[in-house]
């Protein structure tokens, strides 16, 4: 019996992490795979889909109609409701903690459609940090039939919240699958590396390189200003270090970044990068500074130390294994840790050799096998009744 699986995403991080699942599902002759994009991130989302050669079956195209988060959620609910009514999926997949994820969770719950939550169980237990992601993922946890946890710790969070252990599966994180797939693509297609070398010719082989990203809502305002001031001082004090910063499109990021950093000669402010270029830049960097959740997971996959520009992380495994270190938005702390890593001493060695806590790069295969098995059992029970 052919099972109909629907995959819904709307942002760049969701697309990266759900892409390996989509590719695996499309290779399975027993699955009908439908891909829905809400278009929550337009340009940055399309860059990821191009890297994985994925084309949505339907694009809800919310970019022109959404005034704010509530606009995204409201428009998504209405359009998803119609799509699900028309196509009647056996199972819907959503990832993580975005506004798209919240809308999918509410819609599936109200229509009694089974939902599989990818990257389930991450928690800070602080609704303000990250905002609004902590709320979104808790709602997804309430609505989901299947919870695919990246680590044992994430599973334990859901057990404490009362989820049935029969619905919880520790499978690793699909972002490791994504990194593996992209590394294989880069290895096979030499032209990708050649184009990167030409595009990033300002990076010399002898340069120390820091990759920087900042985009989270809780980083806006004074925290963003402090981070930028710290980066500016590091760049001025370390003229032989090159800091490469793909700048998020949100004006709450762009405005302070341009005001504080645009005239510093060894800080390179770039437009958002395609995923292939971003991965090659990741591999070229000595270490990463970020407030991104996904990058915290990519870093140990590529043996790169990650300096976390947040006060708390819902990925404590990164810190516990020694792959990452929390610095918040304290200028002094950011500078202290950065300068120590630039020396390539014991801290750098410890962080770059940390064990990857997020799996073996084959989470997608495990997730699909579990889903097919459980749906087959459910269909058998219905047939017997």
- Tens digits of per-residue pLDDT, 233-280? 999 999 999 999 999 988 999 999 999 999 999 999 999 999 999 999
Residue 182: inside a domain: no
Q: Does residue 371 share a domain with residue 328?
A: no
CA gap 336, 323 in Å, rounded:
17
Provide the residue range defining the domain that includes 79: 3-173+360-384
Using pLDDT thresholds of 50, 70 and 90, give the confidence band for residue 72. confident
Residue 312: inside a domain: yes
Look at residue 22 and tell me whether its pLDDT is greater than 80.
Answer: yes
Assigned token pair, 99:
């506004």
Look at residue 41 and tell me whether its pLDDT is greater than 90.
Answer: no
Q: Does residue 366 share a domain with residue 345?
A: no
Look at residue 42 and tell me whether its pLDDT is greater than 70.
Answer: no
DSSP 221: T
Pick the closest to residue 282 from 202, 177, 179, 191 (CA basis).
Answer: 179
Phi, psi (degrees; rounded to nearest 5) at 369: -65, -40
Q: Mean pLDDT throughout 114-130?
A: 96
Look at residue 94 and tell me whether its pLDDT is greater than 70.
Answer: yes
Q: Does residue 150 share a domain with residue 93?
A: yes
Please name the residues in contact with 128: beta carbons below 8 A apart, sequence gap of 6 or more.
134, 218
CA gap 5, 82 in Å, rounded:
16
Q: In this predicted structure, which of 56-60, 90-94, 154-158, 332-336 has the lowest mean pLDDT?
A: 56-60
Q: Does residue 331 share a domain with residue 305?
A: yes
Preceding peptide of 357 cis, ω within 30°: no
Q: Does residue 110 share a domain with residue 25?
A: yes
pLDDT at 385: 52
Q: Does residue 364 share a domain with residue 347?
A: no
Residue 96: inside a domain: yes
Residue 154: inside a domain: yes
Spatial contact of 219 and 227, defined as CB atoms under 8 Å apart: yes
Look at residue 310 and tell me whether its pLDDT is greater than 90.
Answer: yes
The CATH number given to whatever domain includes residue 309 is 3.40.50.2000
Q: Mean pLDDT throughout 213-218?
A: 92
Which of 11-15, 115-119, 128-132 has maximum average pLDDT?
A: 115-119
Strands across the sheet with 168-170, in order?
58-59, 31-37, 3-9, 91-95, 115-118, 146-149, 168-170
Q: Does residue 140 share a domain with residue 164?
A: yes
Residue 326: inside a domain: yes
Q: Does residue 197 share a domain with residue 262?
A: yes
Q: In this predicted structure, which of 11-20, 38-47, 110-119 has the lowest mean pLDDT?
A: 38-47
Q: In this predicted structure, which of 44-48, 169-173, 295-299, 321-325 has the lowest mean pLDDT?
A: 44-48
214 Rama class: left (phi>0) / alpha (psi -120 to 50) / beta: beta
CA gap 139, 142 in Å, rounded:
5
pLDDT at 7: 98
Look at residue 1 and tell me whether its pLDDT is greater than 80.
Answer: no
* Residues noted as catalytic: 97, 119, 133, 215, 217, 248
Q: Does residue 373 share a domain with residue 341?
A: no
Q: Does residue 161 share a domain with residue 26?
A: yes
Please name the residues in contact with 235: beta carbons below 8 A apart, sequence gap of 6 or more.
241, 243, 261, 264, 266, 267
The helix (run of H) or strand (run of E) holding residue 372 is helix 363-384
CA distances from 296 to 9, 161, 347, 359 (A): 20, 25, 17, 14
Residue 184: inside a domain: no
Residue 196: inside a domain: yes
The beta-carbon contacts of 372-379 under 8 Å, at least 24 apart in sequence, are 372/3, 372/28, 372/30, 372/31, 374/146, 375/3, 375/90, 375/91, 375/114, 376/1, 379/1
Residue 16: inside a domain: yes
- What whole-number percentage of the chain has pLDDT above 90? 87
pTM for the structure as a whole = 0.92
Using pLDDT thresholds of 50, 70 and 90, give the confidence band for residue 67. low
Q: Mean pLDDT throughout 334-343?
A: 97
Query: Domains in the chain: how many in total?
Result: 2
CA gap 143, 339 in Å, rounded:
45
CA gap 359, 300 in Å, rounded:
11
Q: Does residue 337 share a domain with residue 368?
A: no
Assigned token pair, 329:
């938005």
Q: Does residue 371 share a domain with residue 292?
A: no
Phi, psi (degrees; rounded to nearest 5) at 130: -85, 145
pLDDT at 375: 86
């Amino acid at each position: 019996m052919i099972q109909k699986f629907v995959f819904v995403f709307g942002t760049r991080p969701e697309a990266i992490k759900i892409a390996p699942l989509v590719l695996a599902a499309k290779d399975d002759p027993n699955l009908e795979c439908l891909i829905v994009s809400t278009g929550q991130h337009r340009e940055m989302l399309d860059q990821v889909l191009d890297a994985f050669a994925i084309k949505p079956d339907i694009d809800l195209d919310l970019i022109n109609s959404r005034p704010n988060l509530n606009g995204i959620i409201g428009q998504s609910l209405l359009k998803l409701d119609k799509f699900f009514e028309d196509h009647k999926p056996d199972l819907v997949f959503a990832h993580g903690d975005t506004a798209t994820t919240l809308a999918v969770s509410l819609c599936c719950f109200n229509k009694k459609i089974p939902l599989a939550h990818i990257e389930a169980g991450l928690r800070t237990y602080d609704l303000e940090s990250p905002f609004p992601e902590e709320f979104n993922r808790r709602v997804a946890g309430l609505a989901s039939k299947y919870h695919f946890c990246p680590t044992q710790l994430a599973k334990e969070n859901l057990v404490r919240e009362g989820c049935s252990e029969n619905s919880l599966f520790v499978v690793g994180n699909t972002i490791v699958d994504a990194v593996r797939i992209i590394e294989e693509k880069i290895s096979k297609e030499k032209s990708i590396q050649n184009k990167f070398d030409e595009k990033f010719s300002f990076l010399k082989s002898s340069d120390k390189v820091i990759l920087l990203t900042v985009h989270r809502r809780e980083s806006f305002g004074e925290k963003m200003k402090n981070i930028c001031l710290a980066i500016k001082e590091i760049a001025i004090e370390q003229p032989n270090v090159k800091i490469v910063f793909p700048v998020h499109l949100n004006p709450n990021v762009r405005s302070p970044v341009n005001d504080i950093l645009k005239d510093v000669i060894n800080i390179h402010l770039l437009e958002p990068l395609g995923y292939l270029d971003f991965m090659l830049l990741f591999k070229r960097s000595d270490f990463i500074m970020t407030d991104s959740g996904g990058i915290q997971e990519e870093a140990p996959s590529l043996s790169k130390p990650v300096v976390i520009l947040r006060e708390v992380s819902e990925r404590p495994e990164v810190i516990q294994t020694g792959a990452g270190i929390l610095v918040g938005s304290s200028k002094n702390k950011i500078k202290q840790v950065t300068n120590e890593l630039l020396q390539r001493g014991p801290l750098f060695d410890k962080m770059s050799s940390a064990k990857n806590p997020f799996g073996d790069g084959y989470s997608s295969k495990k997730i699909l096998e579990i889903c097919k098995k459980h749906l087959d059992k459910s269909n058998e029970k219905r047939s017997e009744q």
